[in-house]
Structure 1
Amino acid sequence: MSKEPPHVGGAGPIVAGAMTKQPRRVLLEARALAESLGSALVFAFVEPNSYLVEWELKEDIRGNSLNPKEIDEDMTADAADIMKVLESCMAGSKVEWSLKVLAGEPGKALSRLADELHARMIVVGTRHKGFGAHLSELFNGSTASHVIAHQSLPVVVVPVHHEDR
């Protein structure tokens, strides 16, 4: 009776969610994990205004990429802010890292990227405390919960509700 080994992720990089005003702890934990495993690190920023708005499409887009081809001014500002924080957090590290700007619902976008890259695991943070965070989670669900529920890869969830930004 042979027992098949459990699925433990791919040989690719660690994928870590990055967002504006996110506590640095999530990014630093992802860095520490990548350093300890000798893995590359891909940070993923999901553009919050990148949802489908047309109900009747004039062309078939099923074969198109879900990620933005061009970055508009608002996206550039957010991505530039995140890049500054990432450069600060990754300073002095020998880990190979990059930032990807993605489109769509955050949990699905992170999962999609992890699948495309044959990622080892996904690192995400929890939400901040507060009425706005609870209201958003009520209507949209949490990204961490979605990733955990829909992913076969290991998922590391970094609690940030006690952290300052």
Structure 2
Amino acid sequence: MTGNESAGRGGILVAVVPGQPVVVLEQAARLADDLDVPLVCATVDPNRYLVSSYVDGTVVALPYDPDLPEVEDETFDPGLAEQIRGVLDGRGVPYSLQQLAGDPAWSLARLADDIDARYIVVGTREAGLRGSLREFFNGSVAVHLAHRQHRPVIVVPLAPVAGGQRLPWEEPPLS
């Protein structure tokens, strides 16, 4: 593993979040292995904005909310890093961890440009009312990425719904 952005050049960028099912990471690792390219695991703190970032992966960010603490150096969530190591160590896929800040779609697209990623891999939003509300207000990261940058976006389904079932955000049919 390396924290250096250049290690991920031409590789696969995967968006990771705490509590996300490991299937997103597993599918991204499988794609990276199939293509024999490195994997860059990136997480985004949407409650902070980017001040600067460095080649070694260090990010300096400040909170949007003035009541939040002004810890400037963003560090990758240790629990998430441990989960990633548990999934990826021993697979033979070189990977790095990147902490980002700001709008998730913009931050991921910017990093994809910086490392010249071949693909961006994201998971679908979580099912249920909470996920539907978050997507309504924030929009889908996958949709924003698909419309605002030139790389292919691979969306890994987290909770597929059978063909005849309604999606959580769809209205029931009129009777």
Matched, 1:69 2:46: no
TM-score of the two chains, using structure 1 as the length reference: 0.77
Matched, 1:17 2:8: no
For residues 128 and 49 of structure 2, the distance between their equivalents in structure 1, rounded to whole angstroms, comes to 25
- Report the CA distance between 1:72 and its aligned residue: 4.2
Give the unaligned 5+ runs of structure 2.
1-8, 62-69, 162-175
Give the unaligned 5+ runs of structure 1.
1-10, 53-60
Q: One-letter code of the match for 2:32? A: A
For residues 29 and 72 of structure 1, the distance between their equivalents in structure 2, rounded to whole angstroms, comes to 33
For residues 156 and 112 of structure 1, the distance between their equivalents in structure 2, rounded to whole angstroms, comes to 17
TM-score of the two chains, using structure 2 as the length reference: 0.73
Matched residue, 1:138:
136
The alignment yields a C-alpha RMSD, in angstroms, of: 2.5
**Does the residue aligned with 1:156 lie in a helix, a strand or coil?**
strand
What is the number of residues matched between the two proteins? 141
* More strand, by proportion: 2
- Report the CA distance between 1:65 and its aligned residue: 4.3
- Report the CA distance between 1:47 and its aligned residue: 1.3
Match of 1:154 among 149, 152, 155: 152
**Does the residue aligned with 1:153 lie in a helix, a strand or coil?**
coil
Give runs of ≥4 in structure 1 deviating > 3 Å: 64-67, 70-73
Partner deviation per Cα, 1:33-63 (whole Å, 9 max, x = no partner): 00000010001010132148xxxxxxxx7xx
Partner deviation per Cα, 1:5-43 (whole Å, 9 max, x = no partner): xxxxxx611100010110100000001000000010001
For residues 160 and 87 of structure 2, the distance between their equivalents in structure 1, rounded to whole angstroms, comes to 19
Partner deviation per Cα, 1:73-132 (whole Å, 9 max, x = no partner): 9x64x6111101100110211111011000110011100000011111110000111111
Matched, 1:32 2:23: no
* More helix, by proportion: 1
Q: One-letter code of the match for 1:32? A: R
**Does the residue aligned with 1:152 lie in a helix, a strand or coil?**
coil
